[in-house]
Structure 1
């Protein structure tokens, strides 16, 4: 009876060990599958991102022109603005100098407003 009981315990321990191994193997498979799913998802996201970037570049080229075209237009506009400003300076330089000389040379003397107030109250 004792050997039968010991044999039963041995069978239970062996079954428990096999069950633990199966659980451990199932966990390993689960971890591998999750890792594989993450890799697949990352690849899918990367492919989607590349496709959307390609579509954006096509849209940008179609409706806005290339970046070189935009840069060339900005350079052209800047050059035109500089030319206009230089012309404006050339046209107005002489008049501005004369106006500044007039302001410096023609000093207008005025009595300070507080003088009248003080005189009105007999403080001066």
Structure 2
């Protein structure tokens, strides 16, 4: 009977070792699957990022011409207006200086209107 119990215990110990091996393999399998999933997710994220960058560059390139032509148009308008202002300045500066000097130099002395009323 002792031999039979010893054999039963031995069988149980072997079964326990086998179960431990199976559990260890399952853990390793799970860890490997997680690593594979992370790697795959990283690849997908990188592909998506590259696709979006390419899409943005294409969008930017297609609209760069519009921005450039608009900037040229604005610059041209600014030059035209600046030339008009410069021309007006050059045409009228002598008149403005003369008017200012006339107002400062040619003073007509008069009594203040309130003073005239009191003196009358």
Say yes or no: does 1:17 pair with 2:24.
yes
Higher normalized contact order (CA 8 Å, seq sep 6+, divided by chain length): 1
Q: Would you say how many aligned residue pairs link Structure 1 and Structure 2?
A: 108
**1:23-65 deviation line (CA, Å, top 9, x unaligned):** 101110111011111111110110110111111123345xxx2
Q: Alignment partner for residue 35 of structure 1, among 26, 36, 42?
A: 42
Query: Please, what TM-score do these two structures have when normalized by structure 1?
Result: 0.70
Aligned to 1:121: none
Aligned to 2:64: 57
Question: C-alpha distance in 2, partners of 1:108/1:97?
Answer: 22
Matches within 5 A, 1:1-124: 1-60=8-67, 65=69, 67-68=71-72, 70-102=74-106, 106=109, 108-109=111-112
What is the CA-CA distance between 1:72 and the residue it aligns to?
A: 4.4
Q: Which runs of 5+ in 2 are unaligned?
A: 1-7, 115-120
| Structure holding more helix per residue | 2
When Rg is computed on C-alpha atoms for both structures, the one with the higher figure is: 2
Query: Please, what TM-score do these two structures have when normalized by structure 2?
Result: 0.72
Query: Cα gap change, 1:48/1:106 in structure 2, threshold over 3 Å: closer, same or farther?
Result: farther
Over the aligned positions, Cα root-mean-square deviation in angstroms equals 2.6
Query: Cα gap change, 1:102/1:8 in structure 2, threshold over 3 Å: closer, same or farther?
Result: farther
